[in-house]
Structure 1
Amino acid sequence: MFIVHSGHWRLPFGPNKEDGSIVIGPGDVASVPIHMFRGFEKLDEGVGFLFTVLGEDNPGKVTWAPAVFEAAADHGLKLAKGGRLIDTSQGDYTLQDVELAEATGDDTAAELKTPPMDKLRQCVVAADAMTGNPNSRLAMEGVEEAGVITPVATDDGFKAGPISGWWPHGFNVRRLTMSAGAYIPQHARAEVEVIFVHSGTLEVSWDGGAIIMGAGDTLSVPVGLPHAFRNTASVDLVAFVVRGGDAPGLPQFVAGVPMI
């Protein structure tokens, strides 16, 4: 899963980039299915930043297309198991005690078929197509929470979609928007919560402490920790929140704070 923080990108598909592509820009989200070849091309000048989430604690290893091995060999590069590229242009001494990866065979490559482009387009949500969910328990004055990746309907009021996928994700992605001064009272989560600030400023506070997050910052909130959010800046905050599991539960607000 890729959230574009900066830059414009083309994601080409297929072992030789022959199966089509999609273009994504700042604020867009794309979830690329497993077991297919994909690549990344930065289309504009300047530094690009993709925030990426891989499913499960051990996401496995990369399978390189056959053409990658051929191109690497032409430049004196060898691929070690684990994905490390080794430059042998100055001699093979760097290969000592290194186990090289075997080139991807044609049979293996043929099994990693690219889905039809109409299905792949269902795996992308443009920034301007994300809409707040009024049923979100975080929806209150100046606060919107939009579903982005929701594999199944959840206990906290989100329907499946707009990206649900036909492969396992193991997490949800939401876009949190807060206007200047907006506040979400202390609440706790029973699942992992990772916050990535796309633009603006976010204060995350808890009993005895607080931090200020700016654009590009990432925070993993400890499970069960009561915490509050506040937009302390004069401009809107846009943050993406990754929630662990296919169906996150309701936020548990601190006693005395009404459920909105």
Structure 2
Amino acid sequence: MSLQNKINDNLVRYMELIPGTSAFIDARTPGSDLKDNFCIIGAGVAESSRQHVHIRETAGFNIGAAGQPPGIKNSLHSHRTAELFVVFRGQFRFYWGNDGEHEAVLSHGDVISIPTNLFRGFEVVGRDYGFMFSVLGGDDSGGGVIWHPNVIKDSQGHGLYLKADGTLVDTIDGDQVPSESELMPLLTEEELATFDSYTAQEMMPFVALRKDYVPTGGDFDTENVKQYALTGHPLAEYDFQVKSEDEVSIMAYELSEGGSIPQHSRPEKQVLINFDGDTEVVLTHKGEQASVTLTRGDVFNVPEGASYSLTNLRGNSLTYCILGSDKPTKL
């Protein structure tokens, strides 16, 4: 396979994303319907076998996305592995706690790493359709979603049933109604009491607001380039703004007009999300070279063992780099 074909197989254009509308148990619950769920790299925690997955192969983490109109909620749930979000369009009200009693509103370029063992949900506020990228740690994402019992109760009567093995049964699409013994058991009050709670102030160390990005000591001594270390392990070589043990980390590269990052490689798995502007990626792999231009919202799964450079082609560009380690090696 040529390097250009390999690039094409590892590129997901924002305008070509294919949503799933019944990926989870709450997909038809009034107030939680009208959601688009995207599996970009890896199947993540999607419960439906009918969910489209753009790139199935993972290397330590999954990349997905959520899109929804104003007023539509993603219901209270928890994860056993890391869940990080980067808001791309619109404004999202995140709420968390066993009753969703705490909240914060995030917008374009804001990043949050939500702790495990904590119920969380989100809804779009304002007037615009909201879209954000998600990162899930681990190849299998820890065995799926843990739903608040009220979410499972509210889903009843809408044709979706969650089985104890984490698979979704859709009777509207022709699946058989499962027996009572096959269904996911509801969490008890005692089990609910084991989940954590954070005040809004306690959650702020897990948030990097776009307006507060702090340039870090760069790996590249290059003009017109700002490098940001956003989320990663507190013991990492980089001074990450959000210090959390997520098995993944997030860098960002902001290139002003004429800015570029030279050819380089990392030992960690990398995925690029082009957030703003147009960015040219020149890839070198096994002696072969090829290029691709990333436009706003495109996702590129960097082939393992490849090196690449980034060049800003228009205005200011901002590109996130998701790394398959929360303690990446400094270049």
The answer to whether TM tops 0.5 is: yes
Task: Assess, with a 3 A threshold, how the Cα gap between structure 1 residues 113 and 226 changes in structure 2: closer, same or farther.
Answer: closer
Asked if 1:216 is matched to 2:294, the reply is: no
Partner of 1:244: 324
Question: In structure 2, what is the Cα distance between the partners aligned to 1:82 and 1:93?
Answer: 16
Q: Percent same amino acid among aligned pairs? A: 26
Q: Specify the structure having the higher radius of gyration (Cα).
A: 1
TM norm structure 2: 0.67
Partner of 2:189: 106
**Amino acid aligned to 1:162:** Q
Contact 1:12 / 1:38 at 8 angstroms: preserved in 2? yes
Asked if 1:55 is matched to 2:140, the reply is: no
Deviation at 1:139, TM superposition (A): 4.3
* Superposed CA offset, 1:150-188 (max 9, x none): 213444xx22x32113xx311221121001221222111
Partner of 2:203: 120
Deviation at 1:117, TM superposition (A): 2.9
Asked if 1:84 is matched to 2:168, the reply is: yes
Partner of 2:113: 31
TM norm structure 1: 0.85
Question: In structure 2, what is the Cα distance between the partners aligned to 1:66 and 1:28?
Answer: 30
Deviation at 1:74, TM superposition (A): 5.5
Deviation at 1:219, TM superposition (A): 1.0
Counterpart secondary structure, 1:186 = strand
Question: In structure 2, what is the Cα distance between the partners aligned to 1:139 and 1:151?
Answer: 24
Task: Assess, with a 3 A threshold, how the Cα gap between structure 1 residues 76 and 224 changes in structure 2: closer, same or farther.
Answer: closer
Asked if 1:226 is matched to 2:307, the reply is: yes
* Superposed CA offset, 1:9-68 (max 9, x none): 0111123322x1111001100111001100011112333211111112221211111111
Question: In structure 1, what is the Cα distance between the partners aligned to 2:273 and 2:330?
Answer: 20
Asked if 1:170 is matched to 2:252, the reply is: no
Question: In structure 1, what is the Cα distance between the partners aligned to 2:250 and 2:300?
Answer: 14
Deviation at 1:92, TM superposition (A): 8.7
Task: Assess, with a 3 A threshold, how the Cα gap between structure 1 residues 153 and 16 changes in structure 2: closer, same or farther.
Answer: closer
Task: Assess, with a 3 A threshold, how the Cα gap between structure 1 residues 42 and 194 changes in structure 2: closer, same or farther.
Answer: same
* Superposed CA offset, 1:59-86 (max 9, x none): 1211111111221126564323425263
Question: In structure 1, what is the Cα distance between the partners aligned to 2:160 and 2:330?
Answer: 50
Q: How many residues align?
A: 242
* Superposed CA offset, 1:88-130 (max 9, x none): 7x9994437x942112222211111212332212111110100
Unaligned runs of 5+ in 1: 252-260
Task: Assess, with a 3 A threshold, how the Cα gap between structure 1 residues 75 and 227 changes in structure 2: closer, same or farther.
Answer: closer
